[in-house]
DNA sequence: TCTGGGGTCCTAGGACCC
DNA sequence: TCTGGGGTCCTAGGACCC
């Protein structure tokens, strides 16, 4: 491993799902747009997936219950999640981005890391490259993105979030610690609501507070995560930009329209979910060994039960049978059920499998 | 505020083997 | 019958990501 300085670019599409919807339907221009569950006049169950900036002005945001979004802005345009459409646009953009990078990592449907160390001489060239990327995406796909450039993935990702939408933020190695210090801890990767609360309890609010904290105390409080927090707070992240491999699990969940105790209904849903999982797994040419079922009751208490088969299989029958076994053993028939889910995992590659036969 | 759906990774305890 | 240490696999739950 050489000590060569790296330059990493993080590309993040701006409010991707609604941006695609707006592109497809010019009537949406200038209006608040929300992609997510059916609001059902304020009685809908699901959540907001994405909303555009106009909708954000009403206080709406991702993950918010759709019923609340309706209260805040009933006049917004509500659209269901058209995943196939976004998936298509995404793959166009990803193959466009890939050619700019020596190393490429798709992070999600609308984000990617590009390792460009050998493609650019310095940060000025990296910035010019970032502008070129923004131009090409806008020309070809008619949507904007925000880009962060930095010495590693962590800094590039945080930087891309600083100026949005249509932003570009470059953080050079020597500016990293100063850049991070005043930001709230929540901006760090892997720091969610729980970790934020826990940090607050020991008086830590900003990334700079973490950087100035005793690393051994952090480790006592957060285990290996504590060490990671300390390193991240100093802008240190050695993780590589690497191509994503095969999925490690494939699952389908379903939240019922209303909580139910009707077991026949629940078993039908599980069969349907098993079938969907099976089709997906079959398309990917995978064999699974582990089956997991998920049950969420009306009070949101959620349990998972899993069984690892003594063999890898690609048969629907095995999936459905195992799901039934697991549910029969663990389901509490006296409680109302809100959601059920089916997951397959512990995949054996087909190559390995062939050797065993 | 009353919480979707698709994932990944980590932890901790128990079973089992040597 | 009581005892150890290490390794691996399995299960359940939780935090986090978009």
Final residue in a domain of this structure, among A208, A237, A266:
A237
Are residues A289 and A325 both part of a single domain?
yes
User: Could you tell me the distance in Å between the CA of residue A307 and the C1' of nucleotide C9?
Assistant: 12
Question: What percent of chain A shows pLDDT beyond 70?
Answer: 97
Are residues A224 and A258 both part of a single domain?
no
Shortest CA–C1' contact from A306: which nucleotide?
Answer: C11
The pLDDT value given to residue A136? 98
Are residues A278 and A347 both part of a single domain?
yes
Confidence band for A357, pLDDT divided at 50, 70 and 90? very low
The reply to whether A213 falls in a domain is yes
Q: Give A211-255 pLDDT, tens digit per residue.
A: 999 999 999 999 999 999 999 999 999 999 999 999 999 999 999
The reply to whether A281 falls in a domain is yes
The reply to whether A77 falls in a domain is yes
User: Could you tell me the distance in Å between the CA of residue A334 and the C1' of nucleotide C12?
Assistant: 22
Confidence band for A333, pLDDT divided at 50, 70 and 90? confident
Are residues A307 and A351 both part of a single domain?
yes
- Is residue A316 within 8 A of residue A278, CB to CB? The reply is yes
Whole-number Å distance between alpha carbons of A208 and A89: 38
Strand B: which positions are within 7 A of a protein CB? 1-12
Whole-number Å distance between alpha carbons of A88 and A93: 9
Are residues A274 and A330 both part of a single domain?
yes
- CATH number for the domain including A203? 1.10.150.20
- CATH number for the domain including A272? 3.30.1490.100
Catalytic residue list contains A177: no
Shortest CA–C1' contact from A111: which nucleotide?
Answer: C18
Query: Per-residue pLDDT for A47 more than 90?
Result: yes
- Over residues A61-80, the mean pLDDT reads 96
The pLDDT value given to residue A332? 87
User: Could you tell me the distance in Å between the CA of residue A120 and the C1' of nucleotide B6?
Assistant: 35
The reply to whether A91 falls in a domain is no
Are residues A262 and A350 both part of a single domain?
yes
Final residue in a domain of this structure, among A191, A212, A237:
A237
Task: Count CB neighbours of A337 within 10 A.
Answer: 22
Give the angle A202-A203-A205 at the CA atoms, nearest 5°.
120
The pLDDT value given to residue A234? 98
Final residue in a domain of this structure, among A203, A237, A271:
A237
The pLDDT value given to residue A354? 46
Domain that holds residue A33: 16-82
Nearest CA among A24, A144, A146 for reference residue A84:
A24
Nearest CA among A161, A181, A300 for reference residue A232:
A181
The pLDDT value given to residue A58? 96
- Over residues A56-84, the mean pLDDT reads 96
Are residues A291 and A344 both part of a single domain?
yes
Are residues A287 and A345 both part of a single domain?
yes
User: Could you tell me the distance in Å between the CA of residue A135 and the C1' of nucleotide B12?
Assistant: 50
- CATH number for the domain including A51? 3.40.1170.60
Give the count of domains, chain A.
3
Read off the tokens for A344: 């397959």
Query: Per-residue pLDDT for A3 more than 70?
Result: no
Are residues A185 and A267 both part of a single domain?
no
The reply to whether A330 falls in a domain is yes
Strand C: which positions are within 7 A of a protein CB? 9-18
Residue found under tokens 């009537």: A27
Read off the tokens for A133: 């990327």
Whole-number Å distance between alpha carbons of A106 and A114: 9
CB-to-strand B contacts below 7 angstroms:
A 37, 45-47, 49, 62-63, 65, 67-68, 81, 223-225, 247-255, 280, 299-300, 338-339, 341, 343, 345
Q: Which residues lie across from A106 on neighbouring strands?
A: A112
Got the DSSP string for A158-201? HHHTTS-SS-EEE--GGGHHHHHHTSBGGGSTT--HHHHHHHHH
User: Could you tell me the distance in Å between the CA of residue A148 and the C1' of nucleotide C14?
Assistant: 31
Backbone dihedral angles phi then psi of residue A29, each to the nearest 5 degrees = -55, 130
The reply to whether A215 falls in a domain is yes
- Over residues A262-267, the mean pLDDT reads 95
The pLDDT value given to residue A2? 53
The reply to whether A194 falls in a domain is yes
Are residues A227 and A290 both part of a single domain?
no
The pLDDT value given to residue A351? 54
The pLDDT value given to residue A218? 94
The pLDDT value given to residue A348? 87
Give the angle A253-A254-A257 at the CA atoms, nearest 5°.
165
CB-to-strand C contacts below 7 angstroms:
A 63, 107-111, 189-196, 289-290, 302-308, 330, 346
Are residues A304 and A257 both part of a single domain?
yes
The pLDDT value given to residue A349? 66
The reply to whether A145 falls in a domain is no
Among residues A105, A111, A264, A301, the one annotated as catalytic is A111
Distances in Å between the alpha carbon of A117 and those of A11, A177, A357?
A: 16, 21, 45
- Is residue A206 within 8 A of residue A184, CB to CB? The reply is yes
Whole-number Å distance between alpha carbons of A224 and A237: 15
How high does pLDDT run on average in chain A? 95
Whole-number Å distance between alpha carbons of A210 and A231: 9
Are residues A274 and A336 both part of a single domain?
yes
Q: Give A160-219 pLDDT, tens digit per residue.
A: 999 999 999 999 999 999 999 999 999 999 999 999 999 999 999 999 999 999 999 999
Encode A186-205: b = buried (16+ Cβ within 10 Å), e = exposed. eebeebeeebeeebeeeebe
Nearest CA among A26, A10, A9, A11 for reference residue A142:
A26
């Amino acid at each position: 491993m050489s000590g060569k300085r790296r330059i990493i670019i993080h590309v993040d599409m701006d409010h991707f799902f609604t941006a695609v919807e707006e592109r497809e339907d010019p009537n949406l221009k200038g209006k608040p747009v929300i992609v997510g569950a059916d609001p059902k006049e304020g009685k809908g169950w699901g959540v907001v997936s994405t909303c555009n900036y106009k909708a954000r002005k009403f206080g709406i945001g991702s993950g918010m219950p759709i019923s609340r979004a309706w209260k805040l802005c009933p006049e917004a345009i509500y659209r269901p999640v058209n995943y196939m459409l976004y998936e298509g646009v995404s793959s166009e953009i990803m193959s466009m981005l890939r050619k700019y990078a020596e190393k490429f990592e798709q992070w999600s449907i609308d984000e990617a890391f590009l390792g460009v160390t050998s493609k650019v001489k310095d940060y000025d060239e990296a910035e010019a490259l970032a502008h070129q990327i923004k131009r090409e995406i806008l020309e070809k796909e008619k949507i904007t993105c925000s880009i962060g450039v930095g010495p590693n993935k962590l800094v590039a990702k945080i930087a891309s979030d600083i100026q949005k939408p249509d932003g570009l933020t470059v953080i050079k190695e020597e500016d990293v610690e100063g850049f991070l210090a005043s930001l709230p801890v929540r901006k760090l990767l892997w720091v969610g609501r729980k970790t934020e609360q826990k940090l607050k309890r020991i008086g830590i609010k900003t990334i700079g507070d973490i950087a100035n904290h005793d690393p051994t105390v952090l480790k006592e409080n957060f285990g290996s995560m504590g060490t990671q927090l300390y390193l991240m707070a100093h802008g240190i992240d050695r993780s590589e930009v690497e191509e994503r491999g095969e999925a490690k699990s494939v699952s389908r969940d379903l939240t019922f329209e209303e909580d139910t105790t009707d077991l026949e209904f629940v078993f039908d849903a599980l069969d349907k979910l098993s079938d969907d999982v099976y089709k997906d797994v079959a398309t990917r040419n995978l064999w699974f060994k582990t089956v997991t079922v998920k049950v969420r009751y009306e009070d949101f208490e959620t349990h998972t039960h899993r069984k690892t088969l003594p063999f890898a299989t690609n048969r629907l029958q095995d999936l459905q049978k195992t799901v039934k076994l697991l549910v029969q053993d663990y389901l509490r028939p006296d409680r109302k059920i809100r959601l059920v889910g089916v997951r397959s995992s512990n995949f054996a590659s087909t190559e390995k499998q062939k050797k065993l036969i």
